[in-house]
Amino acid sequence: MTQKEWLIAILAVYMLLFTSFTAISADELPTIPIEFYGYVTINGEPAPVGTEIVAKLNCEDSGRIMLIEASKYGSQFNDKLQVNGTSGEIGADITFWVNNIKAQQANKYEPGGLELLNLTVITTEPTSSSKPISSGGGGGGGAPKDSDSDGYSDIVELIRGTDPGDPNDYPGAVTPAPTLLPTVEPAPMSTVKPTPIISEEQTPTPEATPNQIPGFDALFTIAGLFAMAYLSLKRKSK
């Protein structure tokens, strides 16, 4: 082939590749997968080991995972359920199927996300007011632990946010509204001010002056005059 023919062949290959690349829509570009982990219950009981979860995006299988631990799929730091999609599927609904039964939960496709999503599957229709009959917690190796014997295992109550130690607190239980007691405000107590004690100044009692006999001084004076007169006459008589 001549140099001109080589140049034409290279241009033809380039145009073919360019045409193929532009034929791919921008909506079909792959994205970073979104990942999920959490707990799974079937009819209120932990899903057994070997349960398969399939995530579907636009009715197409986009990811799957199998339980290697009862009730738990994936974890925050280990294997997770990865859902792969394209840029055109961003914001679309992801549905989850547990052993080919659709779960009650769904999620939006947001590439690169990490979501904690607990899945619930109901295969029967329990009555809204019925409470499951407790098995008494005896016998049967491997049966889930039910500490309060209310018919729901401890792990299910932890997932549903109820108290596994309270038989009256179980998923679906009606919580009575608390009765509000009226607040009684205490009656204000009157403050009694003490009456100040006025100290009275004691007036000193004057001492009684002994009464003198009237005229006693005059008698004494007269007696003295008589005595002097007597002494004077006695001297003259000598």
- The model's pTM is 0.46
The DSSP call for residue 84 is -
CATH 2.60.40 maps onto the chain at 32-121
Looking up tokens 């989850």 gives: 96
H or E, element range at 114: strand 114-116
Q: Name the β-bridge partners of 36.
A: 81, 115
The pLDDT tens digits of the residues spanning 32-75 come to 999 999 999 999 999 999 999 999 999 999 999 999 999 999 98
Nearest residue to 114 (alpha-carbon basis) of 91, 90, 82, 84: 82
The pLDDT tens digits of the residues spanning 23-36 come to 455 557 889 999 99
Question: In the prediction, which pLDDT does 167 show?
Answer: 81
Question: In the prediction, which pLDDT does 135 show?
Answer: 47
Residues of the chain with pLDDT under 70: 1, 3-7, 14, 17-27, 125-143, 172-179, 190-217, 238
Question: In the prediction, which pLDDT does 139 show?
Answer: 44
**CATH topology (fold) of 32-121:** Immunoglobulin-like (2.60.40)
Exposed e or buried b per residue across 213-227, where buried means at least 16 C-beta atoms within 10 angstroms of its C-beta: eeeeeeeeeeeeeee
The 3-state DSSP class for residue 92 equals: coil
Contacts of 29 (CB under 8 A, 6+ apart): 86, 87
Question: In the prediction, which pLDDT does 138 show?
Answer: 44
